[in-house]
Amino acid sequence: MAFQAQPNLVTLGYHVQVVQYDDQESLRYALNGVDTVISTVSGPPQYKLIEAAVQKRVRRFAPAEFDGIPSLRPAGDPLDRDRANALQLLEHYKAYMQYTVFACGIFYERFAPGGMAATGLGRSSGISGEGDYLLNIRNMAGEAPLYNSSNQHAVICMTAVQDVARFVVRAVDLADWPPVLSMYSERMIVYQFVGYVQQLTGRPTTLTAGTPTTLRARLAIAASRGDVAAQWRLHHLIATAEGRYDLGASRSLNAMFPEIRTTSFRDWFLNTWAGV
């Protein structure tokens, strides 16, 4: 279900039903006979979707998450986008409706031509454009956190959108849903990731390196200037430095469905940027 037509999702094989999220009757009608809801909306529309799903006795609900594990988020998370409230609401209704968070780290598509926006996804993240996160591949320039607050290497996990979809489809058939179902294709130290992209492109990178301390200093400057785009970018970099997108050994769906062979970043990258 979506606010408006989603041709990009339709081409991937999904059925998209346009609904009015401020109309509970419209939502309840759309949920007739639905067993599982995979949400792609956040904030008040998602709250209303959860309420309607409970009323229609939907069995399972996956909120709009699809990045890190919620327990890794700090209190007062500036990147929350009402997700904590949605999880509280789902926890309140867990006796009536199962829920899980699908955690997959960073989508490969953040590094695609046009960024995540080209897929029609992630527009509310503040970093949906090409080059908004870590690296601008076209210009081979970027800003990246190399270390966390403990002076350890910053690490990210990554997965292709289509691989996430394959795992989610299989997860629908599981007998029970735990609070978190995780998956990823690649786990890399950030500076090694930057070097890997240089290797794949054969071009050097102009990189501004950072630590949580220096990134927060840049964030304060961006806030004083009212630079909203820079604030979003820096909040995500700080989250990266602090391990938000590192799932570690938590890879439950990969273990449950070993027959799903995920796409390597190398194969995805070379295919995606071929001819660009």
Query: Which has the higher per-residue pLDDT, 86 or 7?
Result: 86
Q: Domains of the chain (ranges plus CATH)?
A: 1-99 (3.40.50.720), 106-158+185-248+255-276 (3.90.25)
Cite the beta strand spans of 127-227 per DSSP E: 135-136, 141-145, 155-159, 180-182, 186-189, 206-210
The stretch 54-76 carries a mean pLDDT of: 94
* pLDDT (0 to 100) of residue 234: 97
Q: Tens of pLDDT along 214-240? A: 999 999 999 999 999 999 999 999 999
Residue with tokens 């695609």: 112
Please tell me the least confidently modeled range out of 9-13, 44-48, 139-143: 9-13
The stretch 111-132 carries a mean pLDDT of 90
Contacts of 273 (CB under 8 A, 6+ apart): 113, 137, 201
The answer, yes or no, to whether residue 15 has pLDDT greater than 80, is no
Sign of CA pseudo-dihedral 219, 101, 9, 47: negative
Distance, CA of 94 to CA of 121 (rounded, Å): 27
Q: How confident is the model at residue 1 (pLDDT cuts 50, 70, 90)?
A: low
pLDDT at 41 (0 to 100): 87
From first CA to last CA, the distance across the chain in angstroms is 33
pTM as predicted? 0.91
β-strands 141-145, 206-210: how paired? parallel
* pLDDT over 90 percentage in the chain: 82
Q: Is the pLDDT of residue 5 over 80?
A: no
pLDDT in tens, 25-48: 889 988 999 999 999 889 999 999
pLDDT of residue 91: 97
Instruction: Classify each residue of 237-260 as buried b or exposed e, where b means 16 or more C-beta atoms within 10 Å of its C-beta.
Output: bbbbbbbbbbbeebbbbbeebeee
Mean pLDDT of 80-98: 96
